[in-house]
Amino acid sequence: MPKKKAIVLDASAFIAGLDPFSLEGHAFTVPGVRSEVSPSSMGSLRLRLAEESGKLTVKEPSSEALEEARKASALLGDAIKLSDVDVELLALAIELKGEGYETLIITDDYAIQNVAKRLGIAFSPVATFGIKEGLTWVVYCPACFARFPGDLAVKECPICGTPLKRKPLRKGGGHGDRPS
């Protein structure tokens, strides 16, 4: 028996003009996506119509799935690039996959795509090419050059207060390991 299909939609799907009614499977999103789509836009209208028709389910992910999404994003160093809504989208995809759905996230966000790839969740971009390979990032301070674990809860350097950045972790170091 084929698995049920769940398509998790990021705000970029609605903004780019994706029609939830054209999808094969049931569409899902999280409540925070509503605030990321301009209320007077066609994207907002598409979201509202899909929800009212029952084609789109707006759902909060479980705390267990949120924790799993946070851990995966921290492990990869993507945590500083993901918003709370991004983490909720990943968590919802984790939860739906756990419920037996064949799950796909539609997003143009590279950090979401990277974490989804690591979690074995399919993704599809809307208006970008998407990522080609998964990356693990190193979080660092561009001012004092201190390095930090990916699960650091702050976005500024605890030593000097400069906004933190990240760079891909490369095997073997060398000239390609320069901060961007």
Mean pLDDT of 3-19: 91
130 — pLDDT class (breaks 50, 70, 90): low
In the CATH hierarchy, which fold is given to the domain comprising 5-124? Rossmann fold (3.40.50)
CA–CA distance, 81 with 123 (Å, rounded to integer): 18
> What is the reported pLDDT for 177?
35
Q: Flag whether pLDDT at 176 surpasses 70.
A: no
Please report, as a single letter, which amino acid is at residue 73: S
The residues spanned by each domain of the chain are: 5-124, 136-180
Mean pLDDT of 154-171: 81
What average pLDDT does the chain have? 85
* Residue with more model confidence, 61 or 76: 61
Q: Flag whether pLDDT at 2 surpasses 60.
A: yes
How many CA atoms, within 13 angstroms, populate the side-chain half-sphere of residue 26?
14
8 — pLDDT class (breaks 50, 70, 90): very high
Radius of gyration of the chain (CA): 17
Mean pLDDT of 124-137: 72
Q: Structure pTM?
A: 0.76
Mean pLDDT of 44-67: 94
> What is the reported pLDDT for 165?
85
